[in-house]
Structure 1
Amino acid sequence: MGVARDERRLLSDLLLQVGPDAPTLCAPWRGRDLAAHLVLRERRPDAAAGILLGPLAGHTRKVQDGYAAKPWDELVELVRTGPPAPFRLVDEAVNAVEYFVHHEDVRRARPDWEPRSPDPVRDQVLWKRLPVTAKMIYRKSPVGVVLRRPDGESVVARHGANPVVLTGQVQELLMHVFGRSASRVEYDGSDEAVRLVKALDRGV
């Protein structure tokens, strides 16, 4: 049980529904590219290193293209099956946020998307993991950044003067932090501070 398992199942079902050429928020990736990325990340650690390390990017691209060339049903089944042992032992810790974000990448690339209803269990898991990514993303912000839920609970992503407060549901804050434009958050701060925060490169 867990968020990673649930999001993996939901994403797999959605991928089969929308097909391999469906757009995603990770443009220019299509559904096939995103699925291949997830399979590579879980099954080929030798190639996954190239996701972050430029010198290995060519190897990563070659392996990912190989997965992307598989029959669609077979590729989605690899996504659905998840990581092999022993990586399943850390599935929830490693993949809860990854699968939530990529599920939303497919959902929100559709013109009629709407946010999912809040889920206390899911949102608590995502909220616990949000500070690590948020502090990394906003470490270069010239002003302070605070992420706040509608209930008032907040996380300081960047200490600093003239802070900007971003308010939204947990899922919206998470998608915003990961640089997705399809997120619904409200900015509160001076016009200049808000401009500086919006101008930050948040691509993850």
Structure 2
Amino acid sequence: MTRHALSERHLLCDELLRLGPDAPTKCDGWSTSDLAAHLVIREGRPDLAAGAWLPFLRDRLEREQSRMARGDYAALVERVRAGAPVWNPMHFEKVDEMANLVEYFVHHEDVRRAQPDWEPRELAGNLQHALWVAVRRSSRLMFRKSPTGIVLVAEGHGRHSAKLPDAHGTVVVRGTPAELVLYAYGRKDVARVELSGDADDIAALQAAELGIS
């Protein structure tokens, strides 16, 4: 089994160590140390991670994430590299690949693309295919707030209707699977995609909030 999620995890950790704890990321308001703390909490502290969805736990999550981010940065990154604890289903290879491929790919790019003079990576065909499968699977959720219809097109991989038109017409979003993933997950300012459709529809899509939040 090809473990793209594991590869992206290690590449992200290498980049986090190279840049240090105070580098910017594309996660709004987060430095590299904040991002590393988020990933440790996501996999190892479900009691805290629930604060992302439950307002009455949010303050506790933010306090603990901030505390972790201010600690030993190298040790924090190594906790990310070590992966999920054995009690977490994400510890197992198949679950890790399904649950973490997009998570670690997007966050790796969050770090890379926040730095000056970044360029897209040349990704292997099987990784692009895995990302295409992933973006099709999650597209309804990611584009649920779009006021337009959405058709995703990745040359060599196919096309996918992600959302039917609502208040506006349909916008076609073209790019590699990697860039489509980044666009769908709200990284519109750094995702290298081509949008085609009515100008008003494109403007409405660009103004919309995409992703999980």
Q: Which amino acid aligns with 1:174?
A: V
Aligned AA (2:15): L
Aligned length: 204
Tell me the equivalent position of 1:107. Answer: 112
Q: Deviations over 1:147-179 (max 9, x none)?
A: 110236111110127311000011111111111
Q: Distance in 2 between matches of 1:203 and 1:144?
A: 15
TM-score for both structures, normalised by structure 2: 0.90
29-38 vs 146-155, greater mean Cα deviation: 146-155
* Alignment-derived partner of residue 60 in structure 2: 59
Code of the residue aligned with 1:82 in structure 2: it is: G
Larger deviation, residues 159-168 vs 178-187: 159-168
| C-alpha contact 1:146 1:158 (8 A) present in aligned 2 | yes
Matches within 5 A, 1:37-48: 37-48=38-49
CA distance in 2, matches of 1:74, 1:25: 23
How far apart, CA to CA, are the structure 2 residues paired with 1:4 and 1:152? 20
d(CA) in 2 for partners of 1:29 and 1:140?
24
Structure 1 distance, partners of 2:110, 2:12, is 10
Q: Tell me the residue number matched to 2:179.
A: 172
Question: Residue in 2 aligned with 1:192?
Answer: 200
Structure 1 position 203, deviation (Å): 4.9
Partner of 2:82: 81
- Find the aligned partners of 1:5 and 1:82 in 2 and give their Cα distance: 9
1:108-163 CA-partner distances (Å, limit 9, x unpaired): 00111111113212122211111243211322333211111023611111012731
Q: Helix, strand or coil: the match of 2:169?
A: coil
Give the distance between the partners of 2:28 and 2:164, measured in 1 at CA: 32
Letter of the 2:171 partner, please give it: V
**Inter-partner Cα distance in structure 1 for 2:56 and 2:108:** 29
In the TM superposition, what whole-angstrom CA distance separates every residue of 1:56-92 from its partner, at most 9, and x where no partner exists?
1112112212321221110111011111113211211
Aligned to 1:92: 97
TM-score normalized by structure 1?
0.94
Equivalent position SS for 2:119: coil
Determine helix, strand or coil for the equivalent of 1:154.
strand
Q: Tell me how large the CA RMSD over aligned residues is.
A: 1.5
Structure 2: 5+ residue stretches without partners: none
| Contact 1:146 1:156 (8 Å CA) reproduced | yes
- Distance (Å, rounded) in 2 between the aligned partners of 1:162 and 1:27: 30
Q: State, as a whole percentage, how many aligned pairs show the same letter.
A: 43
Note the residue ranges of structure 1 that are not aligned, 5 or more in a row.
none
SS in 2 for 1:41: helix
Whether the 8 Å CA contact 1:24–1:105 is kept in 2: the answer is: yes
- Aligned AA (2:186): G
